[in-house]
Structure 1
Amino acid sequence: MEKKETYDANSINSDKESLVDLLAERPEQGSNFLAFANVVCVVAGTGTLGLPYALRVGGWIGAGIVVLSLIMSIYTAILLMKCLYYNGKYRLSSYQEVGRHAFGRVGLIAVWFFHTSIVIGAPVMYLILAGTELKALIPTDALSIKAWVWISAAVVAVPFIAMKTLKEVAVMSVFGALATLVLVIVAVRGSIVDQHNPDYANVGHSGVILANLPTTIASISICFGGNVVYMHVEEAMRYPKSWNRVVATALGTCSLFYLATAIPGYLTYGDKAKSPILENLPDDAFTKVGTVLIIIHVILAAPILLTSFALEFERLVDITVARRGKVMERVYRTIDRLVIIGVVGGIACLVPYFGDFLSLLGALGNCTLIFVLPILCYFKLIGWRHLKWYELIWCAFIVIIGLISAVIGSIDAIKALKNDFQRDNSN
C-alpha cells in the first residue's frame, strides 16, 4: 500500500523555494481582472434579485448576514487555495483532489457529488430560466418553452465548445459581470420609483424575525457559491500570488451588488417583496431591460460552470494534447462537450421538478462546499494546532453556519418537492 505523506503547518514554510516556483508568474495565462470577472459572473448571478425577499423573510438583520457571509466566504476561499499547495511541492488539480488527499476515497466521492450537482445543476436551471424568460419576452405560439431552452443551449454551446479553458471563457465573464451591474441599477431605479407608488405606501418591515432566521441565513449564504470554479480561475491566473486580493475584491463587489439591491428593495416593498424582485418593479422599458439582462447573464455564466466540469472530466479520461495529439484532442474535446451540453439541455426539458430538486442539492452542496469542507480539509492537510484560539472559534462558527444553512435549505427544498407531487396528484 502506498504510504501517504503528511505535512504540518511548518512543512510549507520550510519549503519556500518550491512554493515560489509553484506561485511563479505564468505569462501565458489570464490577467487578475479576468479572474475577478470570472468570480463575479459566477457568484453574483440571479441570486441578487432574490435578496429583497430574503430580507422580507428574516428582517433587516439580513443585511448584516450578507456582510457576515462575505467575510466567511473570503476566509474559506483563501483556506481552500492553501490546500491546493499544502505540501509545498506541487499544486493539486481540483477540489476533488483536495478531498482525496484529505480524506481518501470518501473525501473524493463527497466532493465530487456536491461539486457535480452544482456545476451541472446550475446550468440546467440557467437554461430553464433563459427559456422561460425568452418565452415571456417574445410571445409566440410557434416556439414553446422547450424550444427556447434548446435555443439557449445552442447559444451556450458555442463558447463552451470553442473555448478550452477559463482563460478564454473569462472574456465572456466580463460582459456577464457588466450585465449584473446594469441589472442591479435597474432594480435600484425601480425601487426608488415605486417609493411613491400607493400600492406600497403601508408595507411592513421587521428588524429580525427569529423564527425565519435559519431560512434567511441559508438563502443568503448560498449566494456566495463560487468554490466550484475557484481552482480553475486561480489556475488560469498569470499571477497566482494575487489570488487572495482577487477573491476578496470579487466577493466584496458581489456583496455591494447584493446590498444595493436588497436594501432599497426591502425598504420600498417590505412585506410585499417578491423573488425575483423584477416581479415588483414597474412594468416599463427598464424592467424589460432587466429581463433581457437576466437572460444574457445566465447564458454567459453557464459556460463558466460547464467548462469547470469539462476540465475535470477531460483530465479524468486523459483528453490532452500530450496523450491524443493536437487534432484528436480537439475532436475528443468537441464530442465530450457536445454530449455535456446535450445532457444539460435534455434535463432542462424533461425533468419536471428539477428546480426544487436542484434547490435540495444546491443547499446541501453549496453550503458544504463553501463553508464546511474547506475548513475540514485545511485542518486535515495543514493542521489546526498553529491557529490561535480565536481562529479556531471562528472556524467552528463557520462550520456551524454552513451546516445550519445546508440543513434548513434542504428541508425547505424537500417541502417544495412534496408540494409539487401533491399538486400534480390532485390534478
Structure 2
Amino acid sequence: MATTDTPGMRNPLHSPLLGRDDYVSNRGSEEDEEGEKSAIHVDTRFSTDDGSALDPLLPPAPGSKGSSLSAFLNILCLAIGVGSLQLSYTLRQSGWFGALFIVFAAAVAFLTSAITAKCMYLKPGGGRISGFHDIGYEAFGRIGYYVITVFNMLNIIGSIGIYAILSANNTSDLFAQVGTNISPRLLMLVSTVIMCTPTLFAKTLAETLLVSIIGTATSIIVTLAVIIMACVYPIRNGEIHVGDSVMRPGAISHYGAIPAGFAVSLSSVSFAYIGTTIVPHIEGGMRHPEKFTRVFGAALAVIASIYVVMATTGYWAYGSRTLSPITLNFPKLWPTTLANICITVHVLFAGPLYLVQMALEIEHGLNISKKSKNMERIWRLSIRIGSALVILALSEALPFFDNVISLIGALTNPVLIYLAPIACYIKLKGWRNCSKLTLVGLSLLLAFGLVVSGFGLVETIGDIVRELRHTK
C-alpha cells in the first residue's frame, strides 16, 4: 500500500519504533534483508470484503467499502463510551499529573494499532492478512491462530457483556425515577435483543454507519452534559448550590500529583482506547485503506482531547470527592437524566459494533462466504443470534457477572493489545531484520503493557474477593 507524506507533516507510520519499511514483507532471502529487489509492494485499494486481494487492474466493487468518515465514526463510537465517565476519578487517584497519562495512553494505542496494521502486510509471499487471528496463524501457525481467536472471543464477549449490564442497570434506574420497577435481568434480555438486531442486517462494519452516527452523537451529548454540569454545579466551600437549595457534600482538595495512585490510574486509562483487534476490520472495510493511519490517528487525537477535557473538568469541580461514574456527583436534574439516557442509547448502539466483529471472526473461521447465497445468509443469521444467546446464558449462569467480565478483560487485554501484535510483528518481520532501536522500543512497549495490565488484574481480583466476602 502506498503511503504519502502530507507537506509539513510526518507520516505516523514512519516511526523509529516500527522501522523504515511501510507495509512490505522482507522476510527470507538476502535480497529481502537489504530491502531492495524483492520488497513486495501491496496495494489494498482493490480488495474484497474479507480483505482478500483482487486483480489490481480491476476496479473495486461499487459500494463494497465504507468511507473514511464511516471508519472515523466507527472508531469514535467504539472508543468513547461509559469509560470516559471514570476518567475524572483517575485524576482523583493520581492528581492533575494524571491528565498526562491520558495523552500517553493515546500514543501507546496508536503505536500498537500501527504495529497491527503493519503485520497485515507482512504475509510471507506477499498479500494482505485479512484478520487479527490470521496474523497469529501466519506468524505462529495453528497455535497462534487458536490462541488469538480464543482470547479475542473472550474479550468481545466481555465487552458486550459489560454493555448489556450497563444498559440494563441504567434503564432500571431510569424507570425507578418514575416509580416503575423492572428487573435488571429482564432489561438485560431486552438490551441484548436490541443490540443484536442491527447485526442481522449488517454484513461488515462498513455497513454500520447509521449505528456509528447515533452512537457518536450520544457520546457528544454525554460529553457536553458532563462538562456543563460540572462547570455549573461544582463543589465550592463544601457546598453545591442548585437554585435556592444547597447540598453539602463536604470540602474538597486538589493535588498536583499523587505518586501512590500513578500505577492504578495509568492502568485504567491504558484500556480507555480502542483495541488492536478491531484494526483489520476497520482498515479492511475502508474504500481507501491507505488513509487508515491518518484516520485512526485523527480519531485518537479527538478522543484524547475529549478525555482530557472531561477528566480535568470533573476533577476541578469535585476534587477529592470525585465519584465514578462522574454523574453520581451531579444533582438529580434533567441534564443528568439526559446524560443517563444518552449513555444507555450509546451502549445499545455501540454493542452491535462488537457483535459484528465477533460474528465476522466466526464467519471467517467457518468460511461461510464459500457457501451459496441462501446458505451463507442462514449461517450468518444463526451465528449472530447464537452469539447473543451465549452472552445471555453466561450472564444468567455466572455469579458476579460484571466482576467476571472485568476479570476476562484484565486477562485478555494484555495479550491482544500488547503481546500478540509485538510478537507477531517480530516473527513475521524476522528479528534479524529489525533494527536494535526497533527491538528495544518494542520490548519497552511490551514491558509497559504487562506492568500496567498487572496492576489492573490485581485490582480486579481484589474487587471479586471483596464481593465474595460481602456476600458471606
TM-score by length of 2: 0.83
Give the % identical residues.
29
Q: Which residue of 1 aligns with 2:256?
A: 207
Contact map agreement 2:168 2:187 (CA 8 A) in 1: yes
Residue in 2 that maps onto 1:191: 230
Provide the C-alpha distance between the structure 2 equivalents of 1:149 and 1:157, rounded to a whole number of angstroms: 12
Note if 1:377 corresponds to 2:445.
no
Q: 1:334 corresponds to which residue?
A: 381
What secondary structure is seen at the aligned counterpart in 2 of 1:223?
Answer: coil
Of 222, 229, 242, the residue aligned with 2:271 is 222
* Distance of 2:69 and 2:103 partners within structure 1: 23
Contact 1:194-1:200 within 8 A present in 2 as well = no
Q: Is the 8 A contact 2:252 2:319 kept in 1?
A: yes
CA positional deviation for 1:200: 6.3
Q: 1:389 to 1:64 in 2, by over 3 A?
A: farther
Tell whether the 8 Å contact from 2:252 to 2:318 is kept in structure 1 after alignment: yes
Letter in 1 for 2:217: L
Between 1:148-157 and 1:129-138, the stretch displaced more is 148-157
Instruction: Please give the per-residue CA displacement for 1:258-285, whole angstroms capped at 9, x wherever unaligned.
Output: 1111001011111111111111122111
User: Size of the alignment, in residue pairs?
Assistant: 419
Instruction: Name the SS of the counterpart of 2:399 in structure 1.
Output: coil
* Structure 2 residue aligned with 1:259: 308
Q: How does 1:18-417 map to 2 (within 5 A)?
A: 18-19=42-43, 26=60, 27=62, 28-87=64-123, 89-139=126-176, 143-195=182-234, 197=236, 198=239, 199=248, 202-320=251-369, 322-323=370-371, 325-384=372-431, 390-417=437-464
Deviation sequence 1:45-88 (CA, Å, 0-9, x none): 21100000111112222110111111111111111011011136
Q: For 1:165 and 1:270, how far apart are their aligned partners in 2?
A: 43
SS at match of 2:203: coil
SS in 2 for 1:138: helix
Contact residue 102 and residue 380 of structure 1 kept, 8 A: yes
| Deviation of the 1:421 alpha carbon | 1.5
Residue identity matched to 1:153: T
Q: Alpha-carbon deviation of 1:192? A: 0.4
Q: Secondary structure at the match of 1:286?
A: helix
Matched residue type, 1:360: L
1:160 is displaced (CA, Å) by 1.2
Structure having greater relative contact order (Cα 8 Å, sep ≥ 6): 1
Pair 385,128 (structure 1): closer, same or farther in 2 beyond 3 Å:
same
Distance 1:259 1:159 in 2: 32
What is the root-mean-square deviation of aligned Cα atoms in Å? 2.3
CA contact (8 A) 1:76 1:370 kept: yes
Aligned partner of 2:52 in structure 1 is none
Give the direction of change, closer, same or farther, for the CA distance of 1:238–1:66 in structure 2 (3 Å limit): same
User: Deviation at 1:410?
Assistant: 0.7
Question: Alpha-carbon deviations, 1:312-341, whole Å to 9, x = none?
Answer: 111212222x32x11221122112211111
Alpha-carbon distance between aligned partners in 1 of 2:163 and 2:46, rounded to the nearest angstrom: 36
Q: CA deviation at 1:382?
A: 1.4
Amino acid paired to 1:316: G
Normalising by the residue count of structure 1, what TM-score does the alignment of the two structures yield? 0.91
- Rg larger in 1 or in 2? 2
1:12-52 superposed Cα distances (whole Å, 9 cap, x missing partner): 98445544666777442000010011111111221100000
- The one-letter code of the counterpart of 1:219 is S
